Amino acid sequence: MTSPAPASAENDHRATAVLFDFGGVLTSSVFGAFEALGASLGCDPRLPLRLLGQDSDARALLIAHEEGRIGERQFEQGFAARLRHHGVDVNGSGLVRRIQSTMRADDDMIRLVADVRAAGFRVGLLSNSLGDDCYAGFDLDEMFDAVTISGEIRTRKPSARAYEIACARLGSDPEATVMVDDLRQNIVAAEGVGLTGVLHREASDTARQLWGALGPHPTF
């Protein structure tokens, strides 16, 4: 699944570095996790995601949390209040952990990260954080050459600044970097900064697209 494609004369300008998203790329679907939360609350499973996308107060809470301006507890309490406003009987405590509890590591994608790095390409993480401990169980410093978390840099995807910071930390020009993300708006934003975008849906297709976007082995 993760074998690199042969190089050709057309590929002289392909990328030499990759930025990976976390939730929904290295893990199972974030959308599925939010729908599981909705189902567990006894409401329309699509309601939590709909609020985060369409309810201005809920969306503002998410952005503030992902940018590190409010912590997990404040986000939970505010989000629970928005859910209650829409008729859901819920206490905010533990909401984020309930979301995270249904997410699982995607072993195929984790192997892809390792294979790309072993082939000599630089690999980095660029992630919008959700929760104070959302990366538990992952040794990010071991997996990646550079790690960029939205809550630490105070800006989030799809902000151009987030991609610029991540590329700078990785030591790569945007034009020589691929962004792998499961959200189309983040791919569009990355391409606007000059990165090559790979929209993730499943590991086999992402691997095919990614190896096609990468240049020859950097050490050759």
pLDDT digits (tens, 9 = 90+) for 51-95: 999 999 999 999 999 999 999 999 999 999 999 999 999 999 999
How far, CA to CA in Å, does 90 sit from each of 38, 43, 74, 86, 87?
11, 10, 15, 11, 9
**Cβ–Cβ contacts within 10 Å for residue 11, how many?**
15
Give pTM, 2 decimals. 0.90
Give yes or no for residue 142 having a pLDDT over 90.
yes
pLDDT band at residue 14 using 50, 70 and 90 as cut-offs? confident
Q: Which range among 4-13, 62-71, 126-135, 163-172 shows the weakest confidence by mean pLDDT?
A: 4-13
Average pLDDT of span 205-220: 81
Q: In whole numbers, what is the pLDDT of the chain averaged over residues?
A: 92
Q: Please provide the DSSP assignment of 113-135 as one string.
A: HHHHHHTT-EEEEEE---STTTT
Sheet of strand 146-149, all strands in order from the earlier edge strand to the far edge: 146-149, 122-127, 17-20, 177-181, 196-199
CA 215 to chain centre: 23
